[in-house]
Amino acid sequence: MKTMFLLGAGASVKAGVPATYEMTKELLNLFSKYPQYDRKYYGVLSFIIGGLLFQKGKKGLNPYDGVNVEEVFNAVQLLANRQSLELAPFVGSWNEMIDMLDLIPPYNPNYEELNREIYRSIVETIIRAFPNSSVSFSESELDGALKRSSSLGQAVHRYLNKNMSEWFRKMGNGMPNSSYSFQEKLTKAIHSAEKISGKGKIFEDTSERMIVNLINLVWIKEYENVSYLKPILSVFRKQNQLCVATLNYDNSIELLTSNNSVECNTGIRDWSETGELKNKNNSVFLLKIHGSIDWKLERKTISHDRPLPQSKIEIVDADNVNKEYYRPAVIFGQRNKLTAEGPFLDLMHAFQKELSKNDQVIVIGYSFRDDHINEYLTQWINNSSTNRMVVIDPDIDNKSTEFVLNVRNLLPNRIEIINKKVEDVLESICEKTTS
């Protein structure tokens, strides 16, 4: 019997990676914890989580169970694209909080620079009103004024009054000095006094920050945290090769294999060079179906051998994962599972191909909420009466998806369900497989 593994979120909980409901809380905490994050993103998440909890209450579900992080992400992305949805023409109005959150804050003008512009404009206008020659102060006019007056003080007083009156008349009749710089800055300050709609930008930015923050939540640093998965390697050694398909983004299997001198091949380097995922003998073939936290997607690259724009994956060095700022190449959210960009369609096809090579799948901590994965499992079970699935999940009885309900009908000959934690039963199951 040839065996492969399928890992869901529950497989990494023991390693310290939050499960889907706990991850929602952790992301919200991260958004509120670090000062570099604007509080508006925290406000977006809080609003959406509150709305989803309210919806659960309306359905009669227990809101204290929390909210699945993928549901939160779906809601964020839908709100980001709400104006382009086919449903948009039929929505009279959105919740007023949505539009309030999506307002772009007004531009904050440089008031010191604006003040200097105003001052400069006033001064230039005053200077233009004053005579630009010494004609008004000619010696002949001043001598004549002195001769007509018996008092030097009266003569100077009348003379200055006459000229000052003329200067102020010119200022009153004149136009302010035209300054394009002043007009530009003043216009910008006035127009920016009102907030404008961001057209979904605040929600799009929030979704991107959620993905970037996954790095802080799923990257595993210590081998001890994944040592409970070591029995998987006994199956590899028995078969001399092994496929491990995972729906998780973490590095649990990479850490496990590297610390036990086992080659781990994701196929992603070959895919970036040739567009194909290639398995290797004497290695663990790790299919990271929804991407990986240490993958960085480079969009639309062109080379001599690949003249048309095509995406490729760059693997971030383990030492730089928590240091380098990048957007991980992962599929996040339930609505994005079949994105055409990147290696994800090829990874799904490779999963289907690997299923056909095995007659036993050990499923660990998978919630059976991915319709595409379920469809491939259904085809695999139906293709041969000897194909068998082992499901390890202490919470399986609380999962009521259609697929789970259907596979229960195959108990006990085709499906074995083990309601225990993976760390408690994995070794015995792997021993049974290799005996």
Top pLDDT among 181 and 139 is at: 181
Alpha-carbon gap, residue 347 to 349, rounded angstroms? 5
The pLDDT assigned to 280 comes to 83
Pick the closest to residue 117 from 172, 175, 170, 184 (CA basis): 184
Query: Is pLDDT at 175 greater than 80 in this prediction?
Result: no
Name which of 298, 125, 69, 324 is nearest 219 in CA terms.
Answer: 324
Helix (H/G/I), strand (E/B), else coil: 135: helix
Residue 104 has pLDDT above 70, yes or no: no
At residue 134 the predicted structure's pLDDT band, cuts being 50, 70 and 90, is: very low
* pLDDT-above-90 percentage for the chain: 43
Alpha-carbon gap, residue 225 to 45, rounded angstroms: 30
- Which range among 67-71, 125-129, 206-210, 213-217 shows the weakest confidence by mean pLDDT? 125-129
Q: What is the pLDDT of residue 363?
A: 97
**Which tens digits make up the pLDDT trace of 362-399?**
999 998 989 899 999 999 999 999 999 999 999 888 87
pLDDT of residue 46: 92
Range with lowest mean pLDDT among 34-38, 267-271, 276-280? 34-38
Question: Does pLDDT of 132 surpass 60?
Answer: no
| pLDDT number for residue 333 | 67
The residue with greater pLDDT, 161 or 193, is 161
* Residues 278-304: tens digit of each pLDDT: 888 889 999 999 999 999 988 766 666
d(CA 240, CA 238): 6
The owner of tokens 């993928």 is 70
Q: Report the pLDDT averaged over residues 247-252.
A: 96
Between CA 413 and CA 386 the distance in angstroms is 9
- Decide if pLDDT at 335 tops 90: no
Output the pLDDT for position 239: 92
Tell me the pLDDT of the chain averaged across its residues: 83
pLDDT of residue 411: 76
- Under 8 Å CB-to-CB from 389, ≥6 apart: which residues? 360, 361, 362, 363, 377, 381, 407, 414, 415, 416
Q: What is the pLDDT of residue 351?
A: 96
* CA–CA separation, 290 and 118 (whole Å): 57
Mean pLDDT, residues 409-425 taken together: 90
Q: What is the tens place of the pLDDT at every residue in 192-247?
A: 555 566 678 889 999 999 998 999 999 999 999 999 999 999 999 999 999 999 99
More confident residue, 7 or 133: 7
Query: Cβ-count burial of 401 within 10 angstroms (0-12 exposed, 13-18 middle, 19+ buried)?
Result: middle
Which structure tokens are listed for 161? 């009054």
Phi, psi of 254, rounded to the nearest 5 degrees: -60, -40
From CA 299, how far away is CA 341, in angstroms rounded? 9
Confidence (pTM):
0.77
- E strands in 8-78: none
Question: Of the ranges 26-40, 346-360, 372-386, which one carries the lowest mean pLDDT score?
Answer: 26-40
Burial of 23 (0-12, 13-18, 19+ CB in 10 A): buried
The pLDDT score that the predictor gives to residue 137 is 47
Indicate the length of the chain as a whole number: 435
User: pLDDT higher for 23 or 399?
Assistant: 23
Element (H, E) at 344: helix 344-357
The pLDDT assigned to 100 comes to 80
Which pLDDT band, with edges at 50, 70 and 90, does 149 fall under? Answer: low
Each residue's pLDDT tens digit, 9-20: 999 999 999 999
DSSP 247: S
Task: Work out the average pLDDT over 260-270.
Answer: 93
Residue 190 to residue 111: CA distance in whole angstroms:
12
Q: Do residues 301 and 309 touch, judged by C-beta distance below 8 A?
A: yes
What is the enclosing helix (H) or strand (E) of 206? helix 201-218
Q: 135 falls in which pLDDT band (50, 70, 90)? A: very low
Higher-pLDDT residue of 430 and 342 is: 430
Q: Is the dihedral of CA 92, 95, 100, 101 positive or negative?
A: negative
pLDDT at 321 over 80: yes
Give just the sign of the alpha carbon dihedral 347, 275, 204, 79: negative
Q: Which residue has the higher pLDDT, 418 or 157?
A: 418
- Peptide bond between residue 18 and the one before it cis (omega within 30 degrees of 0): no
Residue 25 has a CB neighbour count (10 Å cut-off) of 14
Q: Is the pLDDT of residue 148 over 80?
A: no
